[in-house]
Chains A and B, each alone.
Chain A
Amino acid sequence: MEGFFFGESGRQLYGVFHGADPAAYQSRSVLLLYPVGQEYMRIHRAYRRLADSLSDLGFDVLRFDYPGTGDSSGDFSEASLASWKTGAIQAYDELQTMAPSAQVDVVALRVGTIVARALVRERRVARLVLWEPRFEDAAYLRDFTDAIAAKGPTRPNFVADDGSLHYNGFRFASELQAELSHGSLADLEPRRVRSILALSTHDLAEDPALNRLFNRNDNWSVMQTEGPDDWSVLDSVGGLFLPEASLETIRHWLSQ
């Protein structure tokens, strides 16, 4: 496990590389795409655990912070989806530079699945894990706005006069909200990926739009796992999220 900065000076990105166990090396790499906001905080340890176990299986793994998140340059309040997509492409290229491999797989969680769609258009991705995907991009932020509407605005969770959405300690600027409200999973070009796993604690096929998508191409796998599913929860001590069943499902699917 090796942390490092990469990318342009002044716009550097922070990444952590988990080199493949030489004894198990299989010339395959995995790029991990985080969710954002408090979800990034909660899943960080699980992503590290996933990266460690994949490297034990012989994968070279890179996880990185999007611009404006974690240790990467910039502030979340000024972050943009466009910069996250660019960052993902940079991370993909960095991973291929550090550990050239025959194929690159991608694991993307929640908003990371939106970033993954853009990456698939620009780079060759062999296998793609879409973890807790929503059909409409707007659904991710709708979880937050629905919670505010149901419980009323509070000091941490509210929509400001300038339209920015504040939720669990992170400010989603109006421009970012607009970027996150246009697309859908239908924008994914599934033929550019050899196989896709859609993984959730819900029965994704119950969503008619997702179900149509899954049936349109034969390279989709859909799996349901046990585990906690409320991504907008924040406990009093900033508790971490270790969805072991989902991690194990991802490890197993990628190791096949």
Chain B
Amino acid sequence: MTSIERMLTIGGPPPLAGILSEPAPGDPARETLILLNSGMMHHVGTCNLSVKIARRTASLGTLAYRFDFSGIGDSRSRSFAGSHEEREVSEVREVMDELTRRTGAERFLLCGLCSGADAAMATAVVDDRVAGIAQIDPYCFRTGRWYLRHYLARVREREAWSRLFRKLRGGPVAVDGLPREYLEEIDEQERHDFDKGGLTSGYRSLVERGVRTLVIMTEGQSFCYNYEGQFRDVFARVPFGTLLDEHYLPSTRHTIIEPDDQAFVTDLISDWAVAGHAVADQG
């Protein structure tokens, strides 16, 4: 299927700048994929990943829209009374409103990496139009199995032992036998702005609405995630069932610069985006 791309600005002034990838012919009854910024990176995404995902998704018959939050990429800054997170949620909802008006789309899938994953989740919790979220490196929490794998890996490292012996000769040693500096290194990397209870109830509300969740974790989150299935373990109280699709790419960097992994993630997300239509069509 061929697709075309056109500029589509949203709201304003100043408007949000974005690009719509449209299948020919389009089907507004299908869920529309919206790709969100990651940090300050503009809407093409890391290594053009958002462009690749949008074009492949459109080639499979589904609308895809990539845009810049205000103040990022090709969108000018806007004044907003609330927090940064509230502004992002507000702008994603504004985008959905406008896409509905312009294309007839009524159901949406949100996709983002890192902070984009957080914005996808935050929006999905408050907006029933979101039918699915694809999160690359969302926040996760350590489990007992994470600690076991983390320290076992270090036990196998020659450098870890030499550090330990150096510490034993004079430096303080942590209770678990590892140098304190290891724990401090981990603590420094931890994000403190997430509340496990809040995320659990958020995911639970998504499951109750039948929202699909695709989670892709990379080596970039190794400070909190180090085995496939950990996300499901962390949120064990959320009855995800088949609504959660979890993937772990342990040798992939956070910015997905490995060519094989770029192709894998592009296919995975675009296939996931169109998979919902098969379910909807059958229903």
A residues near B (Cβ < 8 Å) are 1, 3-5, 12, 14, 16, 38, 41, 44-45, 48, 69-71, 73, 75-76, 155-156, 166, 168-171, 234, 236-238, 240
Interface membership of B44, Cβ < 8 A: yes
> In the complex the two chains form, what is the Cα distance from A191 to B245 in whole Å?
61
> In the complex the two chains form, what is the Cα distance from A117 to B216 in whole Å?
43
**8 Å CB contact of A237 from B42, B51, B114:** B114
Q: From A160, which residue of chain B is reached at the shortest CB distance?
A: B259
Stretch touching chain A among B120-128, B192-200, B248-256:
B248-256
> In the complex the two chains form, what is the Cα distance from A48 to B114 in whole Å?
23
Pull 14 A–B residue pairs with CB atoms less than 8 Å apart, ordered by A. Answer: A1-B74, A1-B76, A5-B6, A70-B44, A71-B44, A155-B251, A156-B259, A168-B47, A169-B257, A169-B259, A237-B39, A237-B255, A238-B39, A238-B254
A146 to chain B, nearest CB (A): 18
B74 adjacent to A38 (CB under 8 Å): no
Known: A71-B5, A238-B41, A238-B46. A168 touches B257 (CB 8 A): yes
Q: Which has the most chain A C-beta neighbours within 10 Å: B73, B74, B254? A: B74
> In the complex the two chains form, what is the Cα distance from A5 to B42 in whole Å?
17
- Across-interface contacts of B51 in A (CB, < 8 A): 70-71
Known: A44-B42, A71-B44. A169 touches B76 (CB 8 A): no
Known: A71-B19, A169-B262. A5 touches B255 (CB 8 A): no
Interface membership of B228, Cβ < 8 A: no
> In the complex the two chains form, what is the Cα distance from A171 to B19 in whole Å?
24
> In the complex the two chains form, what is the Cα distance from A69 to B262 in whole Å?
16
- Across-interface contacts of A170 in B (CB, < 8 A): 47
Interface membership of B135, Cβ < 8 A: no
Interface membership of B57, Cβ < 8 A: no
> In the complex the two chains form, what is the Cα distance from A3 to B262 in whole Å?
26
A94 to chain B, nearest CB (A): 14
Known: A4-B7, A71-B51, A238-B46. A48 touches B74 (CB 8 A): yes
> In the complex the two chains form, what is the Cα distance from A100 to B129 in whole Å?
45
B257 adjacent to A234 (CB under 8 Å): yes
Known: A166-B259, A238-B255. A5 touches B5 (CB 8 A): yes
**8 Å CB contact of B7 from A3, A44, A70, A75:** A3
Query: What 1/0 mask marks residues of chain B from 40 to 63 whose CB sits below 8 Å from any chain A CB?
Result: 111110111001100000000000
> In the complex the two chains form, what is the Cα distance from A4 to B259 in whole Å?
29
A240 adjacent to B262 (CB under 8 Å): no
Given pairs A5-B5, A234-B257, 20 additional interface contacts (CB within 8 A):
A3-B7, A38-B47, A41-B44, A41-B46, A45-B40, A69-B48, A70-B48, A71-B44, A71-B51, A156-B257, A168-B47, A169-B255, A169-B256, A169-B258, A170-B47, A171-B259, A234-B255, A237-B255, A238-B41, A238-B46
